Amino acid sequence: MIKSSPIPRLGVRPTLVSSAPTRRGLHGLAVGVVRESDKDEARVAIAPAHAAKLIKAGATVTVESGAGERSGFKDEEYREAGAQVADAAHTWQQQLVAKVLPPTADEAARIENRTLLGIVQPNVHPELTKQLAGQGATVLSLDSLLRTLSRGQAFDVLSSQANVAGYRAVMEAGIHLPRPLAGSTSAAGKVRPANVLVVGAGVAGLAALQLAKKNGAITHGFDVRSAAKEQVEAVGAKFVVVDSGEDGSGQGGYAKEMSPEWFQAAERKLLEQAKNMDVIITTALIPGKPAPKLITKAMVEAMPKGGVTVDLAAKAGGNVETTVPGQVVTLPGDKTCVGYTNMESRMAPTASFLFSGNVSNFLLSMQDADKNYTVNLEDPAVRSVCVVHKGESLPPYVPPAPKTPPPQSTTPEPEAPPLNPQTEYLRSAGLATIGTSSALALASFVPNSAMMSTFALSCWVGNSCVKGVTHALHSPLMAQTNAISGLTIVGGMLQLGGGYLPGTVPQVLAATAVGLSAVNLAGGTLVTKKMLDMFRRPDDPPEYNHYYLAPGAVAIGSAALLYGTGNAPAALAPMLGLASALGCVGGIACLSSQQTARLGIYVGLSGIATGITSTLAYMHPEQTATYAQLLALGGSGAALGGYLATKISPTELPQAVAAFHSLVGIAATCTAVGDYMLHDQSKMEAFHNASVYLGAWMGAITATGSVIAYGKLAGSLGSAALKLPGRDAINAGLGLTSVAGLAGFLMTKDPMLAQMSLGAGVVSSGALGLHMTASIGGADMPVVITLLNSYSGWALCAEGFLLDQPLLTVVGALIGSSGAFLTRVMCDAMNRSLPNVILGGFGTPTGAAAKSDGNAEALIHTETDATGAAEMLRSADKVVIVPGYGLAVAQAASVVADIALRLREEGKDVKFAVHPVAGRMPGQLNVLLAEVGVPYDMVFEMEDINDEMADADVTLVIGANDTVNSAAEEDPNSAIAGMPVIQVWKSKKVIFMKRSMAAGYAGVDNPVFFKENTDMLLGNAKDTCDAINKALQA
């Protein structure tokens, strides 16, 4: 039996071409679609779907009544597409007449001096061409297209029709073969697979080999061109070699006529092969000449009983000696010879649709600068098919010889001097010396060496811990560190006072810090839990991670008992702080794998709770009313944070994280300013004052930068970078103001000047955060988010030094290291430096993008529709889906998950490929896919999937652009040159789903749009994915 043919059905081939994302035009063109007069020809030149596209482009289309009837297209369908349906006389009077086969002499006379478009075969029908030239007509013979033209694929009717014929040939062979193509084994016995030999490995031959292979046959390919060997083997067939040393490669991708000696060697080889072949399909043609006889009568007789030959060259005389053109004949030994001359018409709906796609693509490319139809003989595609122009017969088109490259310089480049090992040792030792000297200098400035040791070790531990977190969990990592950064509540708790209500400015600032930190603690923890729960697969074993709350609960309960009875040792509070820090570190470390990730929520929560408990010991127990204030502030903040967490969707995670960062920044600033107001600054050590200033400075820049990031990510503010005049000067001025404020704050003993200096630092920092973040475009928000995450950690570190709290120093170093590490990951993934990003520009000049030499072809893109995309996915064995931020914006993730899981259930290998900077925060797409039920073992990172792209039959790109832009690798002058990208263009077929042909955030055109293996699928991603899903279910 023959399986469902994997040939594209209606809608799969491109239906639109474009040299730019602008509208094409055919104003002034009147097209007539006539009925084919040949009784065996069922195709029609233009289908209703493509008629609609031509009409939309400005043309008028008139269709002869009944022209599409044999292809399954009714007159009413043409009317619905906007075409006129008329009689034959009126249709033949149109400016351009489109038909499939060459016209008869009478039909040619009806064209008069107008234009004919179709398959004309001028070498086969010279008298017809002469007649049309004598009438003053213009003849566009699509079969004369220069097939080596890279954009010619969109116009190549021979290839599209040969593809149909190749598939149909296998189906015809299966009908007449008295056995299945696939083998089988059962209790009744074993049936071997059929042996299929395809002679001629062009488009038709490869299509036949592919379908025969898919239906279980053992396939063999034969071609006179040695270059065909790789193509034959690529579709899983064995290449039959003739040992003659002669290569049959001709011009334009066709085979040339071979020598008598070669024919003798080939005859011996094919006779040997025929003895084992159940099916022989022949496709060999030589343009303008009779088909070569490759399969003799003796070979047919040598085939096993029931053997079948299918001759696709029957119309040109046939490759098989026993072929009778137009008939199926049976020879002795039950040998069947299929000689149909209308193989394409036996699949008329599909063949017509593909032919129509080529015709409409070609017509849509024929426009001048004013978008009017024109026959531009300077266009290689138009010139190659134009055999007669306004009555003048044109010679066959010969493309200009490629320009000779300039001679290479014979002067050898000077060799680089060998590396001196001593230089490297000196450089490394020098850096170590500078580091040691800096540490000693800092030690003389830091009064508490134990705290400095804690800080240094915490940075190292934090960095090592964060490096182990898998990329897929980078979003939960940010949420977890964001929750932990809510330990800014510790600073507020230590400054809290006034009883039930704060009574002084420092107490108001402390209360603010407590309330905002509580929002962050509860909201961040619940968001983290929500995200990690999404990664849980249905078949995962049950988890009881909440049991790990017990250690923290026991520690807290024991501490409460000891403090309540007055038996608490002096070291209890510091030990609780240490336990808290270790819990927070452990919570991050658990994110190193999917198996332990959800455990990290409870370990981290235990750490946070233990830290708050240890801080209670440092408060004033005699002020019982203050504890009530703490309970009220903390409880209301936690309740608000929990409520907000329930309203956050995966699409909103980036702006939610930014909003939580702003709360941490405000809390850190409040704590630093409050501490300054509680102490006499003139009596404090310089290090303490520096901690106050830096804590307030980093808190302010975190708060304001996060607010702007939130606005850009939420859509409240435009995502475009703000470009004020003198932008760099503004940033420099604000930075110098901050430095001057620090110097003034540390050096003065005047309280008024100190206040002014601290105020200048906070204001300039806040302004810097506002302006610098506003000057960064939306595409760089992942870097901004991670950088702000790092800022919040260093602010917490400063708070630890300020309050002499090792817990805050450890946790701050952990968060700062985490944010710094993720920032570096994001920058590396975009091939950008951090200063380059935060200063709001692409930085170093890149030169002009690759320029045309004046002979470059116009960029042509091809389009498909949802039905076509579904058919390609159904026919594929391996599918890669590459989601981008557009998937999140369109809220199409659930539909894409349905498509992927349905294809997987059908036995296809389906994988998702996620770029590190896809989305608006690290790992956002991983969370989005997990939310809709995509198992994490189907999701792969860029470096893991790129090696597999060449094996993918279809790659579906949804809402991504810069992350799959081949210019990053192919154009050294591109603005994104060197950026690591997912190499989607290496797959056999690419379906690019976007709203339009516009460039991505980087503003760089994407060459993948115009590659021969790419079909664009334009429109809303959600609607398009719904349509694909429905088509797959049909």
Task: Please give the positions annotated as active site.
Answer: 885, 920, 1001
For the chain, the farthest-separated pair of C-alpha atoms sits apart, in whole angstroms, at 117
The strand order across the sheet containing 60-64 reads 84-86, 60-64, 30-33, 96-98, 115-118, 138-141, 386-389, 392-393
Q: Among 820, 940, 928, which residue's Cα sits nearest to residue 880?
A: 940
- 377: number of CA atoms within 13 Å, CB side? 13
Determine contact, residues 137/245, Cβ cutoff 8 Å.
Answer: no
What single string gives the DSSP state of each residue in 231-279? HHHHTT-EEE--TT----B-GGGPBPPPPHHHHHHHHHHHHHHHTT-SE
Q: Among 247, 251, 288, 285, which residue's Cα sits nearest to residue 399?
A: 251
What is the distance between the alpha carbons of residues 883 and 366, in angstroms, rounded to a whole number?
A: 35
Determine contact, residues 511/488, Cβ cutoff 8 Å.
Answer: no
Helices 572-589/449-467 angle, 10° precision: 20
What single string gives the DSSP state of each residue in 349-383? HHHHHHHHHHHHHHHHT-B-TTSBB---TTSHHHH
What is the distance between the alpha carbons of residues 74 and 70, in angstroms, rounded to a whole number?
A: 9
Residue found by looking up tokens 């040997």 in the block: 272
Helices 572-589/474-484 angle, 10° precision: 160
For 280, which DSSP code? E
Q: Among 794, 787, 573, 789, which residue's Cα sits nearest to residue 672?
A: 794
Contacts for 535 with CB less than 8 Å, ≥ 6 apart: 472, 473, 594, 597, 598, 927, 930, 936
What is the distance between the alpha carbons of residues 57 and 18, in angstroms, rounded to a whole number?
A: 11
In 10 A of CB 804, how many CB atoms? 16
Contacts for 952 with CB less than 8 Å, ≥ 6 apart: 876, 878, 879, 880, 986, 987, 988
What is the distance between the alpha carbons of residues 723 and 984, in angstroms, rounded to a whole number?
A: 34
What single string gives the DSSP state of each residue in 929-984? HHHTT--GGGEEEHHHHGGGGGG-SEEEEES--GGG-THHHH-TTSTTTT-----G
DSSP β-ladder status, 138-141 and 386-389: antiparallel
Phi, psi of 809 (to 5 degrees): -65, -45
What is the distance between the alpha carbons of residues 570 and 918, in angstroms, rounded to a whole number?
A: 50
Determine contact, residues 1017/1031, Cβ cutoff 8 Å.
Answer: no
| 3-class DSSP state of 696 | helix
What six digits make up the tokens of 991? 């379906």
For the four alpha carbons of 663, 665, 671 and 677, in that order, the dihedral sign comes to negative
Return the exposure string of 472-487: e unless at least 16 CB atoms fall within 10 Å of the residue's CB, then b: bbbbbbbbbbbbbbbb
What is the distance between the alpha carbons of residues 83 and 68, in angstroms, rounded to a whole number?
A: 13
Given 3-state DSSP classes, what are the helix, strand and coil percentages for the chain, each rounded to the nearest 5? 55, 10, 35
What is the distance between the alpha carbons of residues 50 and 160, in angstroms, rounded to a whole number?
A: 16
Contacts for 937 with CB less than 8 Å, ≥ 6 apart: none
